[in-house]
Structure 1
Amino acid sequence: MSIGSVIGRLKAVLFTGVMLFSVFAGADAWGQAAAKEESGEGIDAVLLLDSSGSMLLTDPLRLRDEGAKLFVEFLKSDDRLGVVEFSDGAKVVRPLGPISSDDRANVAQLISQIKTVGKYTDLLAPLEVAESLFAGSSRQGARKILIMLSDGKMEPDPKSGNADDLTNRLLNTEIPNLKAKEIQVYTLSFSDLADGELLSQIAAGTGGVHRFAPSADKIHSEFAELFVAAKKPQMLPISSKGFRIDADVQEATFYINRQGEPGITVISPGGVRVTSESKSDGIKWFKGSEFDVITIEAPEAGQWEIVGLPKNEGFATLLTSLKLVTTWPSAINAGNPTRLEVRLYEAKKPIILPQMTGVVTYAFDITPTDKVSEPIMRAQLSDDGGDQDLVAKDGVYSALVEIEDPGEYRLRVLADGPTFSRYQQQPFRVKPRLVTLESFKERAGYLRAFAPKSAEKPPQPEPEFEDEEEEFFRLRLSSEVIGSKKQQIKLVATGPAEDRYVLPLTRVEELVYVASAEALPRDDKYELKGSFEAEGKRRDRLFGESKVLEFERLPRKGRKAVEVVVVEKKQEQSVPLSPVWGMLLWLLVISGANVGLCLIGLSVLSKAQENIGDVAVVDLEPIDSIMAGLMVLEKKLQVVDIDLEDPIFTATTAVPLLSRKKAPEAKADAETAVAAGAAAGEVVSDDASSEDTLQEEAKDEAQDEAVEATEVEAETEEAETEEEGDAAESGLEEDSVAEESSDDIEEEAEPE
């Protein structure tokens, strides 16, 4: 494998690893954001207290003051508090600021000093003043909360404007402003004189919760409910058997509704008895006329007992790093399945322990609060990746909740383990369905009055059965859809064969659409359902469906066949992937593409290596003259003794191996070489008897060389007559011949 391919694979692996890390790091960041939002830490709260004269009639004992003081007692050191009173106008009683243990008594005194002498009630003024408090003293990371208490309705001073104008400003201007600034309003109305509908709209428009107290003696318990909804603290349920504190709790605050009992006693796991008269370090006891609030710092771990508790009317809020986080909206639409999700956090990190499945029990119940009722729903939450849970064993326990009846409800969630318990409760509202569907009868020509008029088409004749009754379907939209964009409204009929038919709708008035039963393709039984989908004001998705309406169209004399414009065949419903699975699938695709590119590159390189053997190589033949010169050199290297007086080392007799001289010059050199060879023979020969023989042999060889030189001269003259383009080639041939002649002469000249 080449280095390039290895580097490519390493890049692919590193890319995939970085992407996976970013996914899981992002998931952890999402979890931390959820924990921060739902943990109930750090709120900036402003109490808006009605001081109009009508409060003297509805709350003569000023029990509302105790409810407000109860809210103050629940606040912690990381919270801030402001107080505003309102009637004709609004006035700041306490600016928004920190709340300490020493401040609580001062705040209680300020609340008690608020006078109820106003003649009018302006519900817009306190919201505007509170908004200015936040603008002048904002704090990053703290949730902004308004708690409004009133027993009246919009009845402003005529000098300020009429009730309708101020109400329109409140709903259409102030509420959107508060929502845009993420300021939630929690409202509490008591007595039948209060405009509960308007206060409920204020709360719903800002993401808050509305509560109703039928009498003044219920104000404190409703204030407790509002605190729980706004603060979302970690809690423990309190029963006659007491409650269990685990070692992770740094502080516990108990709210106990005495319901007329003279007093209660709290017994620690070590047997220490504490009452409202006890004075002990680390224990604070606030006693109201109907309730007690007890705060214990660093409580002892173990089972605590409460003596004198009439029934399970209380809870404890905890300051702890082990938190139960609940994801649930403050309002849902009736008939829309909504997912409830809960999980445990240690500090700001989610706890994911698959081995704890089955050890810790997660359960919930839902109870109506606008009427006397038992819980309408009780169930356990699951983390098995089934129909109600998205991912198995990820630490998120889920359940799908669907409620049909609009109204006010309370959700309670409990996580119970072997050594700890965590509990949360949250009030919420169930709004009417976005779409309702009903059938009705009307004369046959009912929809003709709403058909669009066109000057191009002539008037149509009246139907034959104009005065007979026909059946129609009325689809009504909720006022919540007003202002939404990209609206899609459908009425779908499903036949026995499960084919779906989209019926044409005619708008008869704002938010009301009608379709005729005559638009159905044939007489048969059908199930009809209306649906609405749009983009909300905040670009969120609005979606709702009506209940299923069962309908049978009976045969009727004179009915003509109707062509249905849109027919939808039954299709398999695809299950949408969660965002996490979608991201993982995308990463798998990218990784597969990288691996595929690496494999393709390796295949190309392998084929290239195989084809190297097929490349044609030029076969170069050796040059004879060069080979002859090399042989001469090899022979000379074999000579051990070299005589420097040898004539071949002189300038006049030395013949180069390669010469570009012409034939005449080569002939002369050959004759000189013959003479030199004879002289050399005389020098090197010491045997006188062989001298004559050597001379004769030298003469013969010289004659042979002369003949060869003559032949070379003739060949050279013929070569010179060739074309100029072959001059280079002729030169090479001449050089080769000359070299051969010189080599032969040198060989003969050497001493034998």
Structure 2
Amino acid sequence: MRFLLGAACALLLTLAGAGALAAEPDRTDAVRVLIDVSGSMKKTDPGNLRTPALRLLVNLLPPDSEAGVWHFAQYVNRITPVAPADGAWRRSALDAADRIHSRGLFTDIGAALDDATEDWRSPVSGERRSIILLTDGKVDISKEDGINEQARADLLAELLPRLQDAGVSVHTIALSRDADQDLMERLALGTDGEFFQVDSAEALQRIFLRLFEQTVERETVPLDGNRFSIDDSINEMTVLAFRGPEGAPARLQTPSGETFGRPGAGDNVRWFHERGYDLITVNDPEPGEWVLRADVDPDNRVMIVTDLQLRTTRLPSNLLAGERLQYAAGLTEQGELITRPDFLQVVEFNVTQRPEDANRGPRWVLRDNGMGEDEQEGDGLFTLELGQSLTEGKHTIITQAESATFEREDRQRVTVYGDPLTIREVALEDAKRLELTPALDWIDPETLQLAATVTRPDGTTRETGVPANGDGIRALPLPESGRGIPVKVEFTLAGNTDSGRRFTTALQPVSVKPLAGATEPAAEPEPEETPPEKPQANWAFIGAVVAAVNLGVFGLLGIGYLVWSNRRGKADEDAGSEDGDEQDIDRD
């Protein structure tokens, strides 16, 4: 009963995702960036590509977000104020990006996290908090290894739980194979953040783009072969065009056919030309189809400012294979969900799941008709259950709303992990059992509730809870079939992640073969056919029978002779009588 209650609560929390889209209040995206400036960065980032990567993030942040930037090495320095990312803050942050260096001593990761989150002690409703931590090293505050090890342990035991309690997601970038990747991954997964390990600073710009999309919700329109549509509700557009080493500078073609580049841009255009990319912002863009004259790149983007916005359920950064999530999309106008049928019936909502190692993936068309996976007809929410197709690995969920007059797009990245428990078969003397052990560090083992459905060889099933012993291991005894038929087991697991998210997932089914030698019992042998025994001759009995038969025969012959003799005598008398009668007649 306790497990069923926990699973039901987890299911309600999962399904609440769709309803939360409609009820979600105005939210502030708060982002704080921590950049390692220790001396080792001279080797891992000799071209100081941290600077253009930070500039990209600064220019992408919308004015209604809040941000701050820190340097850290032996000491921690806040190089921008924590403030809304408006024009004044942006200018300050761009100047600060030029002060990134590689001259610091040591690498005090714990102090940097503590200083940047000092005012984040408890969660605030309507605020999404994110840290972007970039380092090439490990906790290094002293020349003595013991002191460094203690500082690392304190970070995990004291600071990490505080970040979890405050609702902070830590996204980590390890810019070297020598970095403490285990620490970076535990910080990220323990707070539902994303972890990146890169060998070259050349990748930083694209990673910062991905982290921007994970930490800030900003409206975009889809690019189709570097073509995109701008409608008359859009007040501003920002085009991001990545450029290869030999790539030509980007140019834009307006719907009226005019083409311009950085030198000929008008007064309503802000153009940032950086190593590796161009970022072009156009105020009051002309409605119609625009063309980006640049390399076609999957990371090119068009971001917009508009009152007509696409809103989607915000997905966790990290999922478990087998989870099912209710996902919803809808359009808002000036913050209000649009439910007008005459408007929505001409809009197509579609969702595409794109695995990281593939160009294509499954695609769904959503309808607000109350049928299939849609929860309620005409409520303005287009819903879908995600999960069945989410296999282990990284995926991008792309949602689009399209009509004849406008287009909107939203992107989210998720990383899917395998089963949170390892399953091992243990052979006993006359049966088997399954032992299940926690396999993921970011799952809270104290909250796990495991249920099993065992299908016996005869087809009957048994449902049971599987509690943990003192070591956290769960054991499930299995029935022995005795017929060579496997026993099938299905598991359902509910629990919490270290970041506090409740989940329910189905583990991979298990088929357990019987013990070696336990085969179908041999049938009892059928008795061999034997010829019937020949009876022994009883000559005395046979002689008596023959004698009796002979006596009977002779008796019958004797009787027959007497009968014949009597009949013969009577016949003679009858013959004499007949002769006398004839004489009497003649005499008369």
TM-score class normalised by the smaller sequence: 0.7 to 0.9
Change (3 A) 1:265 1:126: same
Say whether 1:336 aligns with 2:299.
no
Q: TM (normalized to structure 2)?
A: 0.76
Does the CA-based 8 Å contact 1:382-1:399 persist in structure 2? Answer: no
Offset of residue 392 of structure 1:
2.9
Q: Which amino acid aligns with 1:246?
A: D
Q: Give the Å deviation of 1:513.
A: 2.6
Is 1:473 matched up with 2:460?
no
Counterparts in 2 of 1:79 and 1:122: CA distance versus 1, 3 Å: same
Bigger proportion of residues as helix? 1
Contact in 2 for aligned 1:269/1:301 (Cα 8 Å): yes
User: Following TM superposition, by how much is the alpha carbon of 1:521 offset from its aligned partner in structure 2, in angstroms?
Assistant: 9.1
Judged with a 3 Å threshold, the aligned counterparts in structure 2 of structure 1 residues 529 and 171 are, in CA distance, closer, same or farther, namely same
Q: Is the 8 A contact 2:484 2:518 kept in 1?
A: no
2:151 to 135, 145, 166: 166
> In the alignment, which residue of structure 2 is the partner of 1:545?
506
State whether structure 2 residue 264 is matched by structure 1 residue 281. Answer: no
Cα distance, 1:296–1:522 mapped onto 2, change above 3 Å: same
Instruction: Give the secondary structure class of the aligned counterpart of 1:77.
Output: coil
**Match in the other structure for 2:401:** 415
Of 250, 257, 266, 2:235 maps to 250
Q: Distance in 1 between matches of 2:48 and 2:500?
A: 44
- The answer as to whether partners of 1:249 and 1:299 remain within 8 angstroms in 2 is yes
**Alignment of structure 1 residues 478-497 onto 2, 5 Å:** 478=439, 479-482=441-444, 484-485=446-447, 487-495=448-456
User: Out of 474, 481, 486, which is 1:513 matched to?
Assistant: 474
Pairs aligned (count): 502
Match of 1:262 among 248, 257, 274: 248
Q: How far 1:498 moved relative to its partner?
A: 4.7
Residue 65 of structure 2 is matched in structure 1 by: 79
Q: Do the aligned residues in 2 keep the contact of 1:437 with 1:547 (CA within 8 Å)?
A: no
| Pair 1:78–1:239, CA change in 2 (3 A) | same
Structure 1 position 66 matched with structure 2 position 52: yes
The residue aligned with 1:666 is none
Q: Secondary structure at the match of 1:206?
A: coil
* 1:546 Cα deviation from its structure 2 partner: 1.5
Residue among 162, 180, 184 paired with 2:169: 184
Q: Structure 2 counterpart of 1:243, which letter?
A: F
Per chain length, whose mean CA-contact separation is higher, i.e. which structure has more relative contact order (CA < 8 Å, sep 6+)?
A: 2
SS in 1 for 2:220: strand
- Taking the aligned partners of 1:558 and 1:551, their CA distance within structure 2 comes to 14
Residue 431 in structure 1 maps to residue 437 in structure 2 = no
**1:427 partner letter:** R
Task: Report how far residue 228 of structure 1 moved.
Answer: 1.4
Hey, what does 2:26 align to over in structure 1? 36
CA contact (8 A) 1:523 1:555 kept: no
Superposed displacement of residue 314, structure 1:
0.6
Deviations 1:705-734 (A, max 9, x none): xxxxxxxxxxxxxxxxxxxxxxxxxxxxxx
Distance 1:196 1:298, change over 3 A: farther
Stretch moving more, 413-422 or 507-516: 507-516
Q: Is the 8 A contact 2:490 2:507 kept in 1?
A: yes
1:413 shift after superposition = 1.4
CA shift in 2, pair 1:544/1:164, >3 Å: farther
Secondary structure of 2:163's counterpart equals: helix
Query: Which residue type is aligned with residue 292 of structure 2?
Result: I
Per-residue deviation, 1:527? 2.1
Shift of 1:93: 1.8
Q: Which moved more, 1:538-547 or 1:259-268?
A: 538-547
Match of 1:51 in 2: 37
Q: How does 1:700-739 map to 2 (within 5 A)?
A: none
Task: Provide the secondary structure at the position in 2 that maps to 1:219.
Answer: helix
Matched letter for residue 482 of structure 1: D
1:198 to 2:187 alignment? no
Q: What is the identity, as a one-letter code, of the residue corresponding to 2:446? A: S
Q: Partners in 2 of 1:386 and 1:531 — Cα distance?
A: 27
Report the CA distance between 1:154 and its aligned residue: 2.6
| Superposition deviation, residue 504 in structure 1 | 8.4
**Structure 1 residue 419, shift from structure 2 partner:** 0.8
Three-state SS of the structure 1 residue aligned to 2:221 is strand
Is the CA contact (8 Å cut-off) linking 1:529 and 1:548 kept in structure 2?
yes
Q: Which residue of 2 aligns with 1:148?
A: 133
For residue 349 of structure 1, the aligned residue among 333, 336, 357 is 336
Equivalent residue of 1:533, what SS?
strand
Q: Structure 1 residues 522, 167: CA separation in 2 closer, same or farther (over 3 Å shift)?
A: farther
Q: 1:363 to 1:118 in 2, by over 3 A?
A: same
- Quote the residue 1:97 is aligned against: 83
Shift of 1:115: 2.5
Closer/same/farther in 2, CA of residues 352 and 555 from structure 1, 3 Å limit: same
CA 1:351 to 1:291, structure 2 compared with 1: closer, same or farther past 3 Å?
same
2:552 paired residue number: none
CA contact (8 A) 1:330 1:427 kept: yes
Question: 2: distance between equivalents of 1:348 and 1:134?
Answer: 27
Please tell me the residue identity of whatever aligns with 2:270.
K
Whole-Å Cα distance in 2 between the matches of residues 153 and 36 of structure 1?
A: 38
Query: Paired residue for 1:307?
Result: 293
Q: Are the aligned partners of 1:186 and 1:210 in contact in 2 as well (CA < 8 Å)?
A: yes
Aligned equivalents of 1:545 and 1:353: distance in 2? 38
> Is the aligned partner of 1:530 residue 2:491?
yes
1:236 has 2:221 as partner: yes
Residue 104 of structure 2: which of 118, 128, 135 is its match? 118
SS at match of 1:127: helix
Q: Matched residues in 1 for 2:44 and 2:18: separation?
A: 51
Between structure 1 and structure 2, the one with the greater Rg is: 1
Residue pairs, 1:10-21, within 5 angstroms: none
Q: How big is the shift at 1:102?
A: 5.2
Match of 2:382 among 397, 416, 433: 397
Q: Distance in 2 between matches of 1:140 and 1:526?
A: 48
- The 1:199/1:536 distance shift into structure 2, 3 A limit, reads closer
TM-superposed CA distance for 1:353, in Å, is: 3.4
Q: Which has the higher strand share?
A: 2
Structure 2 CA distance for aligned equivalents of residues 530 and 31 of structure 1: 31
Equivalent-residue separation in structure 2 for 1:122 and 1:309 (angstroms): 40
**C-alpha distance in 2 between matches for 1:154 and 1:341:** 41
Partner Cα separation in structure 1 for residue 501 and residue 46 of structure 2 = 46
Q: 1:103 to 1:232 in 2, by over 3 A?
A: closer
| 1:239, distance to aligned residue in structure 2 (A) | 3.5
Question: Residue 320 of structure 1 corresponds to which residue in structure 2?
Answer: 306
Q: What is the CA–CA distance in structure 2 between the aligned matches of 1:315 and 1:167, rounded to whole Å? A: 39
Q: 1:356: how far off?
A: 5.1
The worse-fitting range, judged by mean Cα deviation, of 242-251 and 275-284 is 275-284
Paired with 1:154 and 1:433, the residues of 2 have a C-alpha distance of 31
Q: Is the 8 A contact 1:176 1:206 kept in 2?
A: no
60 and 259 in structure 1: CA distance in 2 versus 1, 3 angstrom threshold: same
Measured at CA, do residues 300 and 524 of structure 1 come closer, stay the same or move farther in structure 2, by a change above 3 Å?
Answer: same
Whole-angstrom CA distance in 2 between matches of 1:204 and 1:555: 42
Tell me the amino acid that sits aligned with residue 64 of structure 1.
Answer: R
The alpha carbon displacement at 1:106 in A equals: 4.0
Shift of 1:59: 1.1
Secondary structure of 2:394's counterpart equals: strand
Question: Structure 1, residues 72-125: CA drift from partner, whole Å, max 9, x if none?
Answer: 111233333322111223222223134443554442232222321234222211
Superposed displacement of residue 333, structure 1: 1.0
Deviations 1:386-422 (A, max 9, x none): 4422223322222222256433332221111111111
Whether 2:347 is the aligned partner of 1:360: answer yes
Question: For residue 507 of structure 2, what is the amino acid of its counterpart?
Answer: S
**Structure 1 pair 409–201 and aligned structure 2 pair: CA distance change class (3 A):** farther
Change (3 A) 1:373 1:557: closer
1:304-326 C-alpha deviation (Å, 9 max, x unpaired): 11113334441111111111111
Q: 2: CA distance between counterparts of 1:59 and 1:298? A: 38
Give the letter aligned to residue 187 of structure 2.
I
Structure 2 unaligned runs (5+)?
1-16, 522-588
Alpha-carbon shift at residue 509 of structure 1 (Å): 7.4
The SS at the match of 2:395 is: strand
Over the aligned positions, Cα root-mean-square deviation in angstroms equals 3.5
